[in-house]
Amino acid sequence: MGLATGGTDITITGAWFMHLPEYGVFPFCKIGDTVVRAKYITSNRIICKTPPSFDTLAPSAISVSLNGVDFHDTGFTFSFYEKPELIDMQPRSSNIEGGTEIWLKGTKFSNIGASSGNSMKSMRCRFKQIIDNTSPDFDEDNIPTKYVPAFFINNETMKCASPSGWDGGDQVKVDLTFNGVDYTEASFTLSFYTIFGSFPKSGPADATSSNIQIKGKGFRKDSAILCSINNMEVPPVSVKFNVIKCPMVLATWPADKYESVPFSIVIDGSKKEFENFHYY
């Protein structure tokens, strides 16, 4: 399968492919009703570049020839689909442990991979790390990249899970493919964060001007962040790259109430629980 605009390389393996220019022997492919010149690789492999086709309703048969006239039906087909467009991605951050559900919104999404029985390999999200390309050690061919299966929800929604293996503060570009080759070019940025811990673990019940600090790396101000104290969610006091400050005392907390209460942080829907915070 590939884009209706064409340009997808199809690799065909077989036997007795030939390339004898002096005898006019060249490999060709016929995809649907369109004949294209193939690239000879070896006697058992050729590559054909798909032509444009907006016949997206049914798969196109693939045939091969060595003279452009006598074609042999391969028994395989190729399906064309319109180029999908990404318009939004949520959330924009993930814990380095991975597993965060990333929801992609857009248009012209397709479940075409399922019809081929190959969706786990062809429908994927690509996470490509953003690296400073001004560094003298920058090598575009060695940018860390990870791939995970993408799942079709409807024509406007896809989802995939963020992979693990990143460091706090790493940022990646996220794109989508339906055939394992042709990717979208929206490249939304996903940031990975890590949480080291919280400090302090206790405080006076009347410390309305003090904060509980969440130490870590890779926090974003535009993330949806909530501090949960005694199971009550409140906005953080401030958010910086390496620290989130939560209010130590809620406005509703009596100054003479001394006990331990649950404390956690919620970042883009992902909850991290800490040891109970103790008031004295």
Is the domain spanning 85-192 CATH 2.60.40.10? The answer is yes
pLDDT of residue 124: 93
The answer, as to whether pTM is greater than 0.85, is no
DSSP-assigned letters across all residues of 197-254: EEE-SEE-TT-TT-EEEEEEE---TTS-EEEEETTEEE--SEEETTEEEEESS-TTS-
Confidence tier at 78 by pLDDT (50, 70, 90): very high
Looking at residues 75-103, what average pLDDT do you find? 93
- CA distance linking residue 72 with residue 124, whole number of Å: 32
Superfamily of domain 2-81: Immunoglobulins (2.60.40.10)
User: Which band of pLDDT confidence, cut at 50, 70 and 90, is reported for residue 120?
Assistant: low
Mean pLDDT of the chain: 90
Q: What is the structure's pLDDT at 186?
A: 77
If one compares 117 and 21, the residue with the highest pLDDT of the two is 21
Q: Tokens 């022997």, residue?
A: 25
From 3.40.250.10, 3.40.50.10860, 1.20.1440.130, 2.60.40.10, which CATH number describes the 200-279 domain?
A: 2.60.40.10
Q: Report the alpha-carbon distance of residue 239 to residue 251 in Å, rounded.
A: 20
The partner residues of 107 in beta bridges, in order of sequence, read 85
Cα 172 to Cα 186: distance, rounded to the nearest angstrom: 12
* Section 89-117 average pLDDT: 85
User: Is 160:125 a contact under the CB 8 Å cutoff?
Assistant: yes
Fold agreement between 2-81 and 200-279 = yes
Report whether pLDDT(139) > 90: no
Predicted confidence (pLDDT) at residue 113 exceeds the cutoff of 70: no
Domain ranges of the chain: 2-81, 85-192, 200-279
Average pLDDT on 56-83 reads: 92
**Backbone dihedral angles phi then psi of residue 119, each to the nearest 5 degrees:** -65, -30
Question: pLDDT of 10-68, one tens digit each?
Answer: 999 999 999 999 998 999 999 999 999 999 999 999 999 999 988 887 899 999 999 99
